[in-house]
């Protein structure tokens, strides 16, 4: 592993950046409050900051970032908090090409590390169920294909966990008050592709939405304007 800049130099770079930021004007606009309009659950990768790739400013997005955009209790709790506190009605699970967490999990599946840290292991365990079916399928087994398919499978899995595992979020989905979507960012093009559900997820989502109360007129009007 190549070590990057020494920690004190890194800290100094952060201090200088914060000095520039604090002396600018943007901060004052959000001091009185915030009204984020979307939640992004994305990967921690330094090349995929949601505020920058969606061209948004301070106060616009509620962002949860974790390596591999996996969903566990802390992530669901963060989503529940944002939905309740700010009434946000859109959650986007944002994966990306060339994700190091997917690569690490493929590596672990090929040759498990003895004594892998339980913390890193918990990320790998969350991603593993998305990759194992690919390894047993007729998908070409070269690394590039497995990686690309794995990124997408992992996004769908995270969307599924959000749909299934939080009664608070599920209730909002049933009432047509919350939309949860998967999306993939391409490092090559800079474009985000919003993904259609896989069939089993689509039918589960349909069954949820059929259970809920019919959407209010206001919601219907909003939905007619939506493009996804
Ligand atoms: Zn990543």
Residues 6+ apart with CB under 8 A from 182: 92, 93, 95, 155, 156, 158, 159, 194, 195, 197
**Superfamily in which the 34-97+148-212 domain is placed by CATH:** Carbonic anhydrase (3.40.1050.10)
Instruction: Pick the closest to residue 94 from 173, 193, 202, 165 (CA basis).
Output: 193
Q: How far apart are CA 99 and CA 108, in angstroms?
A: 14
Cβ proximity of 148 and 98 under 8 Å: no
Question: Tens of pLDDT along 130-142?
Answer: 999 999 999 999 9
Distance 214 CA to ligand 1 centre (A): 38
- Answering whether pTM is above 0.85, one says yes
Distance 7 CA to ligand 1 centre (A): 23
User: Within a 13 Å sphere around the CA of 54, how many CA atoms are in the beta-carbon half?
Assistant: 21
Distance 29 CA to ligand 1 centre (A): 31
Distance 121 CA to ligand 1 centre (A): 16
Could you report how far apart the first and last alpha carbons of the chain are, in Å?
A: 41
Distance 67 CA to ligand 1 centre (A): 6
* DSSP code, position 65: E
Give percent above pLDDT 90 in the chain.
78
Distance 198 CA to ligand 1 centre (A): 21
Distance 65 CA to ligand 1 centre (A): 10
Distance 163 CA to ligand 1 centre (A): 22
Backbone angles phi, psi at 64, to 5 degrees: -115, 120
Distance 43 CA to ligand 1 centre (A): 5
Question: What length is written for the chain?
Answer: 228
Q: How far apart are CA 157 and CA 30, in angstroms?
A: 34
Give residue limits of the domains in the chain.
Answer: 34-97+148-212
Distance 197 CA to ligand 1 centre (A): 21
Question: Tens of pLDDT along 169-210?
Answer: 999 999 999 999 999 999 999 999 999 888 888 888 888 888
Environment class of residue 148 by beta-carbon count within 10 Å: exposed (0-12), middle (13-18) or buried (19+)? middle
Question: Tens of pLDDT along 30-54?
Answer: 777 889 999 999 999 999 999 999 9
């Amino acid at each position: 592993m190549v070590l990057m800049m020494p920690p004190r130099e890194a800290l100094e770079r952060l201090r200088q950046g914060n000095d520039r930021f604090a002396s600018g004007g943007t901060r004052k606009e959000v001091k009185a409050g915030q009204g984020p309009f979307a939640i992004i659950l994305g990967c921690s990768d330094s090349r995929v900051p949601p505020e920058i790739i969606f061209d948004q400013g301070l106060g616009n997005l509620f962002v949860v970032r974790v390596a591999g955009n996996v969903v566990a209790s802390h992530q669901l709790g963060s989503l529940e908090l944002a939905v309740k506190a700010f009434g946000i009605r859109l959650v986007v699970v944002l994966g990306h090409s060339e994700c190091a967490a997917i690569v690490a999990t493929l590596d672990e599946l090929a040759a498990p590390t003895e004594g892998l840290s339980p913390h890193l292991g918990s990320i790998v365990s969350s991603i593993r169920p998305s990759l194992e079916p690919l390894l047993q399928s007729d998908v070409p087994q070269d690394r590039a294909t497995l990686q690309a398919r794995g990124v997408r499978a992992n996004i769908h899995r995270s969307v599924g966990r959000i749909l299934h595992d939080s009664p608070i979020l599920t209730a909002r989905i049933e009432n047509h008050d919350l939309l949860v979507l998967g999306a993939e960012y391409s490092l090559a093009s800079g474009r985000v592709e919003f993904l259609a559900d896989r069939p089993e997820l689509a039918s589960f989502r349909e069954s949820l939405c059929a259970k809920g109360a019919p959407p209010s007129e206001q919601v219907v009007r909003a939905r007619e304007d939506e493009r996804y």
